Structure 1
Amino acid sequence: MNRFQGKSVIVTGAGSGIGRAAAIAFAEEGARVICADLTDGAEATAAAIGSAARAIRMDAGSEEDVIRTVELAISAHGGLDVMFANAGISGGMANLFDTDVALITEVLRVNLIGPFLAIKHAAPRIAERGGGAIVLTASVAGLRSGAGSPAYSASKAGVINLAQLSAQQLTGSGVRVNALLPGLTETGMTAPVFDHARAVGKIDRVGRLNPLGRGAQPEELARVALFLASDDASYVNGQALAADGGLSSSHPVTRQEFGRTAA
């Protein structure tokens, strides 16, 4: 398939996980890709792709860095067709009362302000090319409680609403905006969970709460991101698409009562 032949694509958080898998998949389908990440993983991903990719170090929550990244796509590839705003941080697993203002501020800066900046600066450039797509990585944690910490969950709920609002405010531009909602996926962010499970011989228990009974691999989520970015999804706009093995059909959890610590 060559759904992105000649297209110019930016992937943030391209240094690892879903971002890296997506950057490689975009390139395999003909795209020229800007691999953006805060770490040297950006260079590693670009090197794995070859001449169709360029790397840039960027902080997804910095407006200056987002502008530089968009400008690189314009100068290197002549324009911009797709923005995959995927970069994010977990913020740990602190509960509501252990989450301080500094922590939630940083999580919101990267996870919510980052996608906002991506839309703000990428959408006009994509519109100049006659339209295209913006995909935001949210999470099933943004749908309801039970899949993430307060800071992370709040940030991802904001991303879902941002996708909906942006789709409306970009009416007439030809730019579609959708949110991808991963469930538990093996990435750098979740590596401790998967590594510990393997070390103690319990990898079969990872993802056991969803109907498929397993966690996802980054490539599985990348394929959904590419669908949303492609003309195959030409009539999909302002949506939050969960790719979570069925977890969000129930979100089964053990409640933590106020004033009690889980055993």
Structure 2
Amino acid sequence: MTAPVGSLSHAGKVIIVTGAAGGIGRASALLLAAVGAKVTVVDFNEEAGQETLRMIKEQGGEGIFVQADVSKSADVQRYIEATLEAHGKIDCLFNNAGIIQNFSLLQDIDEEHFDRIINVNLKGVFLGMKFALSVMEKQGYGSIINTASTTGVRAEHSLAAYTASKHGVVGLTKGAALEYVKKGIRVNAICPGGVATGITASVPQQLQESGYLPEEFPNMRMGRYAEPEELANVVAFLASDASSYMTGSIILVDGGLTL
């Protein structure tokens, strides 16, 4: 049998995970630490972020926590600098932090709410990429993984602002992948469908309060939401050398939702 090209091992790698206080981010941080990575846990929620770090250390892993609002340039630079100070390099950035839009028709979206969705979901990804790429370019290597959504490849009823932000993430991913493909840096995105997280737990109530019931939602063809750990497995693959020939890939992890 031919030996596999690339490795799924993350031993010695330094990986930043934003939105790591719960859901996909926490599951990914725990898995990456379990397979040898040194993880920088980033989240706006300090208490929950510190809990993720505690869980990492409890399982024998290594990491640091940095409290940050990913929509603020100074905060993003701070988690980049803290990682470099602790470990001297950045092998991978998992740009995962994001927020959901309140379900409503476009004309009813509050301008301040729209700005917040774009600032966290899109600008936060842009800033993370901007400052990580400058480090990775000097290193001559690196991997960036962005969390988009099925709404990054199609629209969802009553989620126009969220859809716009995730379409933007897909665009940033493809643009950066093209620009850095000859510099040893890979940029990919995952597109989850429904995932069993704190965000999705609030969706039924939001739908009831908004008075909207989109016919496309929920359309879980597997009959269930994904578990965060199922997304974490894909993140771990993309962060590994086993995905060395992948860049600019927009990967649907949606249980067939978009079929």
> Fold conserved (TM > 0.5)?
yes
Q: Distance in 1 between matches of 2:93 and 2:157?
A: 26
Alpha-carbon offset, residue 208 of structure 1? 6.1
Alpha-carbon offset, residue 154 of structure 1? 0.6
Alpha-carbon offset, residue 170 of structure 1? 1.2
Larger RCO (CA under 8 A, 6+ residues apart) = 2
2:40 corresponds to: 34
Contact 1:81–1:129 (CA under 8 A) maintained in structure 2: no
Contact 2:8–2:240 (CA under 8 A) maintained in structure 1: no
Q: Distance in 2 between matches of 1:84 and 1:36?
A: 10
Per-residue CA deviation, residues 141-196 of structure 1 (Å, 9 max, x unaligned), is 12112266111111000000110000011132211001110000011211224799
- TM-score (structure 2 length as normaliser): 0.88
Alpha-carbon offset, residue 54 of structure 1? 0.5
1:72 corresponds to: 82
Contact 2:8–2:237 (CA under 8 A) maintained in structure 1: no
Alpha-carbon offset, residue 2 of structure 1? 5.9
Amino acid at match of 1:84: F
Q: Structure 1 stretch 235-244 or stretch 210-219: which is displaced more?
A: 210-219
Per-residue CA deviation, residues 9-55 of structure 1 (Å, 9 max, x unaligned), is 10000000000000001101100000000002111100110150111
Q: Distance in 1 between matches of 2:142 and 2:203?
A: 36
Q: Does 1:11 align with 2:21?
A: no
Alpha-carbon offset, residue 76 of structure 1? 0.5
Secondary structure at the counterpart of residue 86 of structure 2: helix
Secondary structure at the counterpart of residue 42 of structure 1: helix
Summarize the alignment of residues 1-263 of structure 1 with structure 2, pairs less than 5 Å apart.
3-39=9-45, 40-50=47-57, 52-146=62-156, 149-193=159-203, 209-249=219-259
Q: Distance in 1 between matches of 2:162 and 2:55?
A: 30
Contact 1:27–1:33 (CA under 8 A) maintained in structure 2: yes
Amino acid at match of 2:38: R
Alpha-carbon offset, residue 133 of structure 1? 0.6
Amino acid at match of 1:152: Y
Amino acid at match of 1:114: G
**CA RMSD of the aligned region, Å?**
1.8
Secondary structure at the counterpart of residue 177 of structure 1: strand
Contact 1:140–1:147 (CA under 8 A) maintained in structure 2: no
Contact 2:121–2:166 (CA under 8 A) maintained in structure 1: yes
- TM-score (structure 1 length as normaliser): 0.86
Contact 1:11–1:19 (CA under 8 A) maintained in structure 2: yes
Amino acid at match of 1:189: I
Contact 2:106–2:158 (CA under 8 A) maintained in structure 1: no
Q: Distance in 2 between matches of 1:65 and 1:71?
A: 10
**What residue ranges of structure 2 are gaps of 5+ in the alignment?**
1-6, 207-216
